[in-house]
Amino acid sequence: MKCLICKQGETRRGTANVSFQRGETVLLVQNVPAEICENCGEIYLDEETSRRLLKQAEEAWQQEVVFDIRRFKASAS
């Protein structure tokens, strides 16, 4: 797909690191499957991946985590 940000590059399947920050909580998730623009590096996540990442981030915030690094795990289904 054509990148919506730079309008120049095409996206390719790959993995990316995604970080979340709220207050003093920082969560970094590595190896997240994504479409990545070959020109500017913008990442695009599908709905299921986004949902799973947001759930993990919310859990970290509720547990008052200060800093956490996790590896994305593929769905068990």
Q: Which two tokens stand for residue 58?
A: 């919310």
Per residue of the chain (77 residues), give pLDDT as tens. 999 999 999 999 999 999 999 999 999 999 999 999 999 999 999 999 999 999 999 999 999 999 999 999 876 54
Q: Three-state DSSP class for 70?
A: strand
Transcribe 10-61 into DSSP letters.
BEEEEEEEEEEEETTEEEEEEEEEEEEETTT--EE--HHHHHHHHHHHHHHH
pLDDT for position 18: 97
pTM: 0.86
Instruction: Give the pLDDT score at 73.
Output: 83
pLDDT of residue 74: 72
DSSP state, residue 62: H
Q: Report the pLDDT value the prediction gives residue 76, as an integer from 0 to 100.
A: 52
Tell me the C-alpha distance between 76 and 46, whole Å: 17
